[in-house]
Amino acid sequence: MKNTINNTAFNFPGQKSVYKGKVREVYSIGDDILVMIATDRLSAFDIVMPKQIPYKGQILNQIASKMMDATKDIVPNWILGIPDPNVAVGHLCKPFKVEMVIRGYLSGHAAREYKIGKRMLCGAPMPNGMIENDKFPEPIITPSTKADDGDHDEDITREEILSTGIVSKEDYEILEKYTLDLFQRGTEIAAARGLILVDTKYEFGKTKSGEIVLIDEIHTPDSSRYFYADGYEERQSRGEAQKQLSKEFVRQWLIANGFQGLKGQQVPEMSNEKINEISERYIELYENITGETFIKSDLTNISDRIERNVLDFLNK
């Protein structure tokens, strides 16, 4: 759509490479700086949708930066500054090749696996007798391998990670502790907003000095699932769907229109009305998650704005 960020093609001073992910584009500057641009692309089932969502990149970037700031006492993070609503600048890190997914409730992927009879997910047990959206006795960590080139992420167990050497035992134990501590903090922040943090994922990397830091985004509606706390118990007792704050509403709309990212399936057409509806839902997510009013950035010429703000930051 007009006035959204799809693909970027910047050439910053000292730029060495560009990595284009599903929704973010990462520019390496020199040997130690990354410029991460949150585009307005929308992905679901690991597929990038044909149309972009206004303000989505700004929303994700600003939620992530606020949550990074709120957790920096638990784990150091990669961010040096936020020079633009859609941009974060930080330390160049070597990412671990696993995503640390943690689940407090039987929802999403876990619920879909449970329904087909599985009682173990990534080596973590899921008790018998649960119904969708029930709370686990304790949060479970269900890691996935980080996909390259847009392929699907794959579930993996702790044992497989260690036996294949993807992550050393020493480092993995640190990642596990950070994941549990971050989820606890995220749960507390959500509760203060009248929300339940259902599940989320964290990504970590190492700086050039070997320090493990939190990277990418945290506690955003793209990386996390939230329920409204008010009425949760009543909805569960009646077997009703939970009121969610996540992009699960996008996934459910796609499923209802015959798309789950499977081979041979076509992405359903999104009308302008649907695009605007999704944009409004993301704004709702922002305001509920942060407790602040969303201030829309100027969309007149986003590319020029980003380039100007990044250059000013790098020059300083």
Mean pLDDT over the full length of the chain: 93
Residues 119 and 192 grouped into a single domain: yes
Mean of the pLDDT values across residues 9-23? 93
CA 244, 250, 254, 256 dihedral sign is positive
The confidence score (pLDDT) of residue 247 equals 79
Confidence of residue 150 (pLDDT cuts 50, 70, 90): very low
When mean pLDDT is compared over 46-55, 181-190, 218-227, the highest value belongs to: 181-190
Residues 80 and 124 grouped into a single domain: no
Mean of the pLDDT values across residues 125-135? 97
Pair of tokens at residue 229: 């706390």
Domain enclosing residue 84, as ranges: 15-93+271-315
Residues 278 and 230 grouped into a single domain: no
Residues 104 and 207 grouped into a single domain: yes
The confidence score (pLDDT) of residue 152 equals 60
Mean of the pLDDT values across residues 248-254? 85
| Lowest pLDDT segment from 39-43, 98-102, 129-133, 173-177 | 39-43
The confidence score (pLDDT) of residue 151 equals 53
Residues 101 and 168 grouped into a single domain: yes
When mean pLDDT is compared over 152-156, 179-183, 299-303, the highest value belongs to: 179-183
Enter the DSSP assignment of 97. S
Which one has a higher pLDDT value, 146 or 180?
Answer: 180
We report the CATH number of the domain holding residue 302 as 3.30.200.20
Residue 97 pLDDT greater than 70, yes or no: yes
Decide if 278 is inside a domain: yes
Write the DSSP assignment of 29-57 as a string of letters: ETTTEEEEEE-S--EETTEE-SS--TTHH
Residues 166 and 144 grouped into a single domain: yes
Give pTM, 2 decimals.
0.87
> For the segment 256-268, what is each residue's pLDDT rounded down to a tens digit?
999 888 888 888 8
The confidence score (pLDDT) of residue 47 equals 85
Residues 89 and 105 grouped into a single domain: no
Residue 204 pLDDT greater than 50, yes or no: yes
Mean of the pLDDT values across residues 15-39? 93
Task: Tally the domains of the chain.
Answer: 2
Residue of 103, 133, 130 lying closest to 117 (CA atoms) = 130
Residue 1 pLDDT greater than 90, yes or no: no
Which position has the token pair 């997510």? 285
The confidence score (pLDDT) of residue 33 equals 95
Contact 126, 136 (CB under 8 A): yes
Residue 165 pLDDT greater than 50, yes or no: yes
Decide if 254 is inside a domain: no
Residues 82 and 119 grouped into a single domain: no
